[in-house]
Chain A
Amino acid sequence: MKEFKGRVVAPGCVTAPALVSHGGLNTLASFQKALQFGDKKATCGDQNNPDLYGKQMLGKALCLPMTIGSTTGGLVLYCACAMKRQPACLLFSEHIDSLAAAGSVLASVWLDEVSMPVIDCLGAEFLDYVKDGMSITVKEDGTVVVE
C-alpha cells in the first residue's frame, strides 16, 4: 500500500480499480465511439494508446499524465459525465491540462448529481507505482491510496 498526495481539482471520495495510461489520454479518440454508439462501458477507442485501447473506462480510477488531442476534449468529457459514462475519478501525475480542466469544471458547474473527483500533481512516482486493477481510494483532501 502506498499513499500519494495531490491537489484537489474536483472534490469527492471514491474507491475504484485503477486503469493506467502512461501516455496522454486522447479524450476524443478514447470516448467518441463509446458516446456515439451506446457503449455503456465506455470502451477506449484510441488506437494510439496501447495502455487503454479496448479497455473499459467506466467506473475506473483513470490514472494518467494528462489529456491530449482535439479541443473537443473538454466537452467530450462533459458529455461522458452527463451520460453517466465517465471514469470513477481522474488522477493526473502532472498538472491538469486545459482540456481536462474544462471538462471537469463544466461538469461541476452545469451538471447536477455528477461525481467525478479529479486530483492532479500526484507526481511521476504515482504513475510508476500504480498498475491496472490495483485498488484506488481517493480522499476528500487529495490523498490517493493505492493498494
Chain B
Amino acid sequence: MILTKEQQAILDGAQGEVKAKVMKTLVMYGETFEADKLVPVTSKYNHLVTSFGLKMMTPVFDLMQKLIDAGAISEQQFSVDPRPLDPNVPANFLQKFIFNNFMYSTQESYEKQLKQLGLMGDDAFTCACYLDEVGNKPGKGDVLSWAESSAVVYANSVLGARCNRNSGIMDIMGSIAGYVPHFGLVTDEGRKATWIIKVNTTKKPEAQLLGSAIGMKVMEDVPFIEGMNGWLGEELTDEVCAYLKDFGAATASNGAVGLYHIENLTPEAKEQGRALVKENAKVYVIDDAELERVKANYPVIWKNPDAQPKLCFVGCPHLSMQQLIDWTKKVEAGLKKAGNKKVLIPTVFTTPPAVKAEFDKSEYAARLEKTGVILSSICPLMYMNNPLCAKMPVITCSNKLRTYTTSRYYTEEEILVKITEGGNKA
C-alpha cells in the first residue's frame, strides 16, 4: 500500500504511539484486501455499532480508554446503535436486576466514553441513523467509516455512499485517522454485481423475507435485483426507502451483503443499469415457492413451539415515521375488526429517539398508546441477549432479530393478526 507522507509520518509515530497503532491497524486491514492506498473519509458524521455497555466487552472499553487517554479523538461526531435498556419495555424483576447489575452494569461509564469520543448527542442512539429526523445521512459518493450492517448496506445501496462492512472498533479507527483503506465497496470495481436476482413473485414480497433469501444465497456478494419495479416503482419514496431499510437489514444479517442494486430504482442501478453486472454473474430466481421454502426452514428453538407469545417486537431496524403511522393505522383496524381494544400480546415498536420525539407531537402518538403498544428506542437484539429473555417466546417480523436471538419470525401480516386477534392465530 502506498501511503502519503502525512500517513507515513503518523504510522512512524509522529503523532504518538496510540495514533501510530491506529494507522497500523488501518494499514494491516487494508493490506489484507490488497488495498492500494488510504482514501479520506468524507462524510460529515460517523456511525458506530457499539452502543452497549455489555460487560463482555470490557476489552473494547479498555481500548476506547487508551484512545481517549492519548487524545486520539476523531474530528467527526458520530451516531451509535440503540441503547440496550429502556424501563418502559416489559421485563420482570429478575430480568431488570440482571440487566442493570450484571449485563449492562458498564452502560453509564461506556456512554461517558462515547461522549468523550464525539457522540452527536444524548439521543443519537439508533441503527437507522440515516433517517431525516436523526440527521446522519451521507450523500452520494461520500466515503464512510461506518459499522452496523443494516446502516452500511442502506448507505451503500439506497444513498450511494461508499463504505465497507467495517467491524466495530474498525469504524472508529478510520474516523480517528480520517482515512479508510481503498478496497471492496469503496472502489468502482467492488460495487459491481456478481449475482442477478430475478424476482418472479405473484405479490409484493415481504421485505425481510426476500432479504433473507437473497442474503443466504449470495452471502457477501453484490446482487443486482430485477423484477421489483412492479412492486416498488422507480422512485425512492419514504415507503420504498422503509422497505429497502428492512430488506437490506435482512440481506446483511442473514448473509453478509454490504451493497445491492435494484434495477431502475437504487441510484447506481438507475445511472448504470446492466453495466453494473459482471460477466458470468450467477442467477437466482425467487418465486412464491422459494420464499415459502426459505421461511419454512427457519429453525424454531422455543422449548415449547406452541407456546403463547409473551412479547412482540416490531422495528429491527428501527421504524421510520411513515412506518409508525402505517402500523398505528393497521393495529387500530385489526383491533376494531377483532372487537378488541388493546393488543393481546405485549408489543413494543422501536424507533429512533428523534423519530419518537416527532411522532409524539402527532395525533398518532395517542392513538398508538390507546392500542396498548409500547413505543421505545431500545435495541430489541440487545434486550434479548440473555438467558432469561432467550427463554421467553418472543415473536417478531424482523429477520435480523430472528437470526441473532431465539425470537420467532412471522410476516408483518401474521404479526398483526397475532397481536390484534390472539396469540396463536395466523
Contact = CB atoms under 8 A, between A and B. Distances in A.
Interface in A89-147: 95-99, 101-106, 108-111
Interface stretch (B50-58, B109-117, B304-312, B414-422): B50-58
A97 to B, nearest CB: 6
Interface residues of B, number: 46
A66 interface: yes
Interface residues of A, number: 41
A10 to B, nearest CB: 9
Contacts of B50: 72, 75
A79 B256 CA distance: 21
A109 B28 contact: yes
A75 B255 CA distance: 18
A71 B49 contact: yes
Contact of A70 (B24, B49, B55, B170): B49
B29 A105 contact: yes
Contact of B169 (A48, A70, A102): A102
A43 interface: no
Given A97-B256, A102-B166, A110-B63, A69 B57 contact: no
Contacts of B55: 36
Contacts of A26: 403-404
A69 B404 contact: yes
Interface string B202-243: 000000000000000001100000000000000000000000
Contacts of A79: 56-60
B404 A68 contact: no
Contacts of A29: 403-404
A78 B387 contact: no
Contacts of A101: 29, 32-33
A88 to B, nearest CB: 19
Contacts of A75: 49-50, 57, 60, 167-169
Given A82-B59, A105-B32, A71 B148 contact: yes
A106 B49 contact: no
Contacts of A72: 49-50, 147, 167-168
B404 A66 contact: no
B296 to A, nearest CB: 14
Given A29-B403, A71-B148, A109-B24, A78 B169 contact: yes
Interface of A: 9, 24, 26, 28-29, 32, 35-37, 47-48, 65-75, 78-79, 82-83, 95-99, 101-106, 108-111
Given A67-B256, A97-B165, 7 more contacts: A32-B404, A68-B219, A70-B404, A71-B149, A105-B25, A106-B170, A110-B21
Interface of B: 21, 24-25, 28-29, 32-33, 49-50, 54-60, 63, 66, 103, 147-149, 152, 164-171, 184, 219-220, 252-253, 255-256, 299, 301, 385-387, 403-404, 406
16 contacts: A24-B219, A24-B256, A26-B403, A32-B385, A36-B55, A69-B149, A69-B404, A71-B171, A75-B169, A97-B220, A98-B166, A98-B184, A99-B165, A102-B169, A104-B32, A109-B24
What 4 A-B pairs have minimum CB-CB distances, sorted nearest first? A74-B167, A82-B59, A102-B167, A75-B168
